[in-house]
Amino acid sequence: MKKIKILIVEDEVAIREGLIDVFVYHGYDVDSSGHGTEGLEKALTGQYDLILLDVMLPGLNGFDICNQIREQDRDQAIIMLTAKSSDEDIIEGLSLGADDYVAKPFSIAQLVLRVQAVLRRTHSVVDQQSKIQLSDEITIDTQNLSGIRGEEELTFTRREIDIVQYLYANSQRPVSRDELLHKVWGYAENIDLETRTVDIHIAKLRRKIESDPANPQHLMTVRGAGYRLLGSE
Ligand code: CA
């Protein structure tokens, strides 16, 4: 299978080198630039599956780069990286068409998860990718219904894997019980459902993927909103 190609545009050397190492480790083909103008040039000519784009850059800032990429390629997957974290910046980034927005300091595992989620939404090629890596410790193989947590081998039911895959594809937001019942179980929407069946499956999943199921680090409950799947360091 062709390697997924990522461009990292980030002027801080330590962060850039760190990101290169991480994405090479995860099997991606990585290119990089520490300058806005050069980054834009590469972005427009390099045929990348995804671009990680810092905002504050010498030459040209990330929002301008994002804007100019979008003028030429509406479908280019872009994730903005920035130290700025006010809502206004997030809205500006997203309205310029970034697919996601990750504020520094970010967890590397969380960033990898967000990259995988954006690639799943934007590139059908990644649908063939069957491994979900939640952290250095936990990998889930969605095709073989298996996984590894530390030294422990895990097995899953098809339903559990379907839940993980759905949460993973939507990891930028919490997913409600009703939505899971509709999308994963296939029940019609807006009927009064027994949502406890979702909770039971979540509890079973936590016993598998969490080292301390009572204090989950990945399969999180978002009060009043549902469940969200997170990566971690
Ligand atoms: Ca910067």
Q: What ranges do the domains of the chain cover?
A: 5-123, 131-229
Pick from 73-77, 161-165, 187-191, 199-203: least confident: 187-191
Given a cut of 80, whether residue 190 has pLDDT beyond it is no
> What is the 56 CA–ligand 1 centroid distance (Å)?
4
Tokens for 83, please give them.
Answer: 């130290």
Q: How many A from CA of 104 to the centre of ligand 1?
A: 10
State the distance from the centre of ligand 1 to the C-alpha of 6, rounded, in angstroms.
18
* Ligand 1 center–CA 49 separation, angstroms: 22
Using the mean position of ligand 1's atoms as its centre, give its distance from the Cα of residue 70 in Å: 21
Contact 110, 231 (CB under 8 A): yes
Neighbour-count burial of 105, counting CB atoms closer than 10 A to its CB (0-12 exposed, 13-18 middle, 19+ buried): exposed
Does the pLDDT of residue 118 top 50, yes or no? yes
The number of residues making up the chain comes to: 233
* Ligand 1 mean position, distance from CA 32 (Å): 13
CATH of domain 131-229: 1.10.10.10
Using the mean position of ligand 1's atoms as its centre, give its distance from the Cα of residue 82 in Å.
7
CA of 171 to the centre of ligand 1 (A): 25
How far does residue 98's CA lie from ligand 1's centre (Å)?
A: 17
Say how many Å lie between the CA of residue 55 and the centre of ligand 1: 6
Average pLDDT over residues 110-135: 76
- Residue 219 confidence (pLDDT) above 70: yes
Q: What pairing do the DSSP bridges indicate for beta strands 138-141 and 146-149?
A: antiparallel
Q: How far apart are CA 161 and CA 143, in angstroms?
A: 9
Ligand 1 center–CA 20 separation, angstroms? 15
pLDDT score at 15: 93
The tens digit of pLDDT for each residue in 3-41 reads 789 999 999 999 999 999 999 988 899 999 999 999 999
pLDDT at 39: 98
74 has pLDDT over 50: yes
CA 64 to ligand 1 center in whole angstroms: 14
d(CA 81, ligand 1 centre) in Å: 9
Report yes or no: 224 and 177 within 8 Å, Cβ to Cβ. Answer: no
Three-point CA angle 85, 88, 93, nearest 5°: 80
Cβ atoms of residues 117 and 172 within 8 Å: yes
Q: How far is the CA of 8 from the centre of ligand 1 (A)?
A: 12
CATH architecture of residue range(s) 5-123: 3-Layer(aba) Sandwich (3.40)
